[in-house]
Structure 1
Amino acid sequence: MNSPTTQPQSRDSETVDDLGLYTTPEDCGLEAPRLTEALGAEGFPAKAAALGQWWAATRLARALTRYNQRNGTLLTGGMALTALTSLTAALTVAITIFMLVLGDNEQLRTAFFETIDSAVPNLLKTPTTPDGLVDPHALIMSNAVSVTGIVALAIMAWSAIGVVGQLGNSIRAMFSIGITPGNPVIKILMNALGALGLGVGLIASAGLGILVSFAGDWLLGLVGLAGSGFSAVILRILTEVISFGVYFFVTWLLIRVVSRVRVPKHDLYWGLAIIALISIVLRNLGTSVVGAVSGPLLATAATLITLVLWLNLQVRVVLTGCAWMANPPKAHAPATPRQVHFMETPNYVSLSAPHTLQWPHNAISGEVMPDELHEAAAIMLGDDH
Structure 2
Amino acid sequence: MDFKPQLRIPATYMRGGTSKGVFFRLEDLPEAARVPGPARDALLMRVIGSPDPYGKHTDGMGGATSSTSKTVIVAPASVPDHDVDYLYGQVSIDTAFVDWSGNCGNLSTAVGPFAVANGFIPAERIPQDGSVTVRVWQANIGKTILVHVPITGGQVQETGDFELDGVTFPAAEIVLEFVNPSDDEGDGGSMFPTGNLVDELDVPGIGTLKTTMITAGIPTVFVEASAIGYDGTELQPAINDDKAALAALEAIRVAGALRMGLIKTPEEAATRQHTPKVAFVAPPKDYVSSSGKRIAADAIDLNVRAMSMGKLHHAMMGTASVAIATAAAVPGTLVNIAAGGGTRDAVRFGHPSGTLRVGASVEQVDGQWTVTRAVMSRSARVLMEGWVRVPQD
TM-score (norm 1): 0.29
From the CA coordinates, give the structure whose radius of gyration is larger: 1
The structure in which a higher percent of residues are helix is 1
Structure with more relative contact order (C-alpha pairs < 8 Å, separation 6 or more)? 1
TM-score (norm 2): 0.28
The structure in which a higher percent of residues are strand is 2
